[in-house]
């Protein structure tokens, strides 16, 4: 069975601080996919990144960066120089490989509510 | 319209009512999903349709009945719901391809359902 744990329920920082959101996952598959989504107050989940289990290279996109470590089953998300617009609930999600194609649902963590204070 | 749209955005219904939620995707995807988001619970997958065939049910109560008439439309028919069914219902779509690659899901804004 697969599981995603986001231990931080809520984080509050002052604008311009760096903040890291933790994500720990469990899966028995050797091939799987990890995702981060952002859910602003409007409710719509916004896709941020997908990472394949066989690609451990970290990724940076502007102020966002992701640290994937298979040895610790973690896929952490860092926002540098945070802004008020970054305030949202952030979800980490996992999907095991579906060989031969096909669709599979995502297993989500409970989310981390990030509050950026001006 | 672009992306994934859902109607209505808000719905209040009594326990004896019958209503339907609608989802439409304009991304050319061939898989669609229903998720339920309750307070204090992780997002829960309810149904998956791939190439218009249902592939996963996840033990959802029969008072929820999905329908996928084509690859662009997805419905969730509701009848005799319970107050604990009050939640945000999210629709998503993705592109299914052969091989081991997995494509991300794109979500609609959700329908906020309140059952009285």
Contact A47 B33 (CB under 8 A): no
- Among A33, A30, A37, smallest CA distance to A6 is for A37
**3-state SS assignment for residue B99:** coil
Mutate to test the interface with B, among A32, A41, A45 (most CBs of B within 10 A): A45
Contact A101 B43 (CB under 8 A): no
CA distance B25 to chain A (A): 14
Report whether pLDDT(B96) > 90: no
Contact call for residues B34 and B46 (beta carbons, < 8 A): yes
CB contact, 8 Å: A98 with chain B? yes
B15 or A18, greater pLDDT: A18
* A85-99, B2-16, B83-97: least confident range: A85-99
Contact B48 A33 (CB under 8 A): no
**3-state SS assignment for residue B11:** strand
Q: What confidence tens digit (pLDDT) does each residue in B54-88 have? A: 777 778 999 999 999 999 999 999 999 999 999 99
Contact A50 B104 (CB under 8 A): yes
The alpha carbon of A5 is separated from its chain's Cα centroid by a whole number of angstroms, namely 10
Report whether pLDDT(A77) > 90: yes
Contact A35 B33 (CB under 8 A): no
Q: Calculate mean pLDDT across residues A26-36.
A: 90
Q: How far apart are the first and last CA of chain B?
A: 32
Residue A100 confidence (pLDDT): 46
The secondary structure of residue A93, as a DSSP letter, is: E
Q: How confident is the model at residue A114 (pLDDT cuts 50, 70, 90)?
A: very high
Residue B50 confidence (pLDDT): 83
């Amino acid at each position: 069975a697969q599981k995603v744990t986001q231990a931080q329920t809520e984080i509050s920082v002052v604008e311009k601080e760096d903040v890291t959101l933790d994500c720990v996952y469990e899966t028995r598959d050797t091939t799987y996919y990890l995702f981060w989504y952002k859910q602003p107050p409007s409710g719509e989940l916004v896709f941020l990144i997908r990472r394949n289990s066989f690609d451990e290279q970290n990724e940076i996109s502007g102020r966002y960066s992701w640290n994937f470590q298979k040895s610790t089953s973690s896929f952490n998300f860092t926002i540098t120089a945070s802004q008020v617009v970054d305030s949202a609930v952030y979800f980490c999600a996992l999907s095991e490989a579906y060989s031969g194609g096909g669709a599979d649902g995502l297993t989500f963590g409970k989310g981390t509510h990030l509050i950026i204070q001006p | 319209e672009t992306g994934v749209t859902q109607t209505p955005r808000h719905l209040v219904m009594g326990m004896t009512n019958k209503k339907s939620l609608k989802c439409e995707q304009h991304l050319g995807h061939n898989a669609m999903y229903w998720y339920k988001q309750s307070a204090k619970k992780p997002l829960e997958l309810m149904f998956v349709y791939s190439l218009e065939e249902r592939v996963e049910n996840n033990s959802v109560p029969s008072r929820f009945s999905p329908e996928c008439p084509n690859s662009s439309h997805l419905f969730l028919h509701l009848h005799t719901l319970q107050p604990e069914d009050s939640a945000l219902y999210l629709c998503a779509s993705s592109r299914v391809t052969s091989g081991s690659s997995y494509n991300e899901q794109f979500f609609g804004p959700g329908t906020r359902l309140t059952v009285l």
